[in-house]
């Protein structure tokens, strides 16, 4: 028997939480907290209270990014038995894995060497560290043996993997023939290397959906965020991906209402949806994190931030509907996540009868119902 995990935030957190829970005694609840926004911290505290209410006899151990930044605040919660900060100075020796439905998320990297002005992750997770290749290979092989039909490589900044992300993917695909599908989590567009572009162009087992950490579409805002790319470089990165694989789909993280953002700057980010052909956008209203440079900059009024985020989400949703409609009449490869719903390589959900969870099939797209496509094997 082992413990259970309650994880918040990114897939890296979920993979790490499951690994910690597997090593914990029965009756232990590991809460792996998130600090990416103020709302994430609030949700972490709420999850702790709910866990205690539902499991009065459990031992609750709290770890993760929010604990790393505010250990005393979490230690003061009456529901918490132990606060367990990470030791960010310890080199990574193993890769955490999480089997979710028919996919496994394998953590290959953590930490960050960059200093974006809005972010606390570099404080919470320490410097960038990569899992040695042999440990990654063993973890991926183990997850494939457990039944994973698709492996998703995850981390804080996987494009910063030591030795190059492209070379890592090449080695995994060469060394593990049973690895049917390899997908990448969020990428820093300026670190997409030649080896990765070669794989995008010529390796069908590398799934052609790429989620980019773009954050904004205005050069002055990007400079004040201390991002390492310009608007033109974002567009060029997408063009390079699409040259390598014309049917690739693009997702992106975008922040609305960054301090000092003008209406024209906000519109530049809105236009980036079209310029980068983004069909899956994660939009975050700016949330000032204590101690960051961005928190000390002149803030945009909160209602304006919310309005810009809503506008950006609405435009992204409209683009996604148009993209989904454009897939009607095409044939798509679908990985079934349940007996009724699968997902295309481009991250579109499809309802289809006659297939089972874990099946991979080439199907015809015959319609759309809301946010789902409708498919048939005919």
pLDDT digits (tens, 9 = 90+) for 214-248: 999 999 999 999 999 999 999 999 999 999 999 99
| 63 backbone dihedrals φ, ψ, rounded to 5° | -140, -170
| Helices and strands (H, E) in the chain, number of each type | 12, 18
What is the reported pLDDT for 14? 86
What is the reported pLDDT for 91? 63
Residue 99 above 80 pLDDT?
no
What is the reported pLDDT for 279? 97
**Of 85-99, 186-200, 267-281, which gets the smallest average pLDDT?**
85-99
Matching residue, tokens 């928190």:
295
Residue 100 above 90 pLDDT?
no
Over range 151-160, report the average pLDDT: 95
Residue 111 above 90 pLDDT?
yes
Which residues pair with residue 110 across a beta bridge?
129
What is the reported pLDDT for 101? 66
Over range 175-187, report the average pLDDT: 96
| Residues 6+ positions from 16 with CB-CB distance below 8 Å | 7, 32, 96, 107
Q: How far is CA 94 from CA 135, 138, 151, 267, in A?
A: 5, 9, 16, 43
What is the reported pLDDT for 17? 87
What is the reported pLDDT for 86? 86
Residue 31's pLDDT band, with cuts at 50, 70 and 90, is: very high
Which class in CATH covers the domain with range 97-327? alpha beta
Element (H, E) at 71: helix 71-75
180 near 203, Cβ under 8 Å? no
Task: Provide the H-helix boundaries in 191-301.
Answer: 194-202, 219-225, 231-244, 263-275
What is the reported pLDDT for 88? 76
How far is residue 353's CA from residue 33's CA, in Å, rounded to a whole number? 38
What is the reported pLDDT for 93? 61
Residue 90 above 70 pLDDT?
no
How far is residue 302's CA from residue 210's CA, in Å, rounded to a whole number? 31
- The beta strands (E) that lie in 50-204 are given as 59-64, 82-83, 97-100, 103-107, 109-110, 129-130, 150-154, 182-184
pTM of the model: 0.92
- The beta strands (E) that lie in the chain are given as 4-7, 28-33, 59-64, 82-83, 97-100, 103-107, 109-110, 129-130, 150-154, 182-184, 209-215, 249-256, 278-285, 331-336, 341-344, 349-351, 360-369, 372-376
Q: What is the dihedral sign for C-alpha 286, 291, 296, 302? A: positive
Catalogue the long-range contacts made by 321-326 (C-beta closer than 8 Å, 24 or more residues apart).
321/368, 323/249, 323/279, 323/348, 324/348, 324/368, 324/371, 324/373, 325/368
Residue 1 above 90 pLDDT?
no
Q: What percent of the chain has pLDDT over 90?
A: 89
């Amino acid at each position: 028997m082992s413990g259970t995990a309650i994880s918040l935030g990114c897939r890296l957190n979920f993979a790490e939480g499951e690994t910690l829970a597997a090593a914990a005694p029965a009756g232990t609840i590991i809460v792996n907290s998130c600090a990416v926004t103020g709302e994430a911290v609030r949700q972490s505290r709420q999850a702790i209270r709910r866990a205690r209410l539902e499991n009065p006899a459990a031992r609750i151990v709290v770890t993760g990014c929010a604990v790393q930044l505010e250990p005393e605040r979490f230690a003061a919660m009456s529901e918490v038995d132990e606060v367990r900060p990470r030791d960010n100075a310890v080199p990574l020796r193993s890769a955490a894995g999480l089997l979710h439905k028919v996919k496994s998320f394998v953590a290959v990297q953590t930490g960050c060497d960059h200093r974006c002005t809005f972010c606390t992750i570099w404080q919470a997770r320490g410097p960038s560290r990569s899992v040695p290749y042999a440990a990654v290979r063993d973890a991926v092989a183990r997850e494939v043996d457990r039944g994973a039909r698709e492996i998703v490589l995850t981390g804080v900044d996987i494009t910063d993997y030591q030795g190059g992300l492209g070379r890592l993917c090449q080695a995994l695909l060469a060394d593990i023939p049973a690895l049917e599908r390899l997908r990448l989590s969020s990428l820093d567009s300026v670190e997409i290397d030649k080896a990765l572009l070669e794989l995008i162009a010529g390796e069908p087992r590398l799934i052609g959906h790429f989620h980019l950490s773009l954050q904004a579409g205005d050069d002055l805002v990007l400079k004040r965020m201390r991002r390492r790319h310009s608007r033109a470089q974002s567009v060029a990165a997408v063009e390079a991906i699409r040259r390598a694989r014309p049917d690739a789909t693009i997702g992106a993280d975008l922040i609305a209402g960054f301090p000092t953002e003008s209406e024209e700057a906000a519109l530049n980010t809105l236009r980036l949806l079209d310029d980068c052909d983004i069909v899956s956008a994660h939009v975050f209203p700016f949330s000032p994190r204590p101690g960051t440079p961005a928190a000390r900059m002149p803030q945009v009024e909160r209602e304006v931030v919310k309005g810009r985020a809503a506008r950006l989400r609405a435009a992204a949703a409209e683009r996604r509907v148009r993209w989904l409609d454009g897939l009607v009449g095409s044939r798509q490869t679908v990985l079934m996540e349940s007996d009724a719903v699968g997902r295309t390589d481009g991250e579109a959900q499809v309802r289809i009868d006659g297939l089972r969870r874990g099946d991979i099939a080439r199907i015809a797209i015959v319609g759309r119902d809301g946010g789902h496509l409708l498919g048939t094997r005919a």
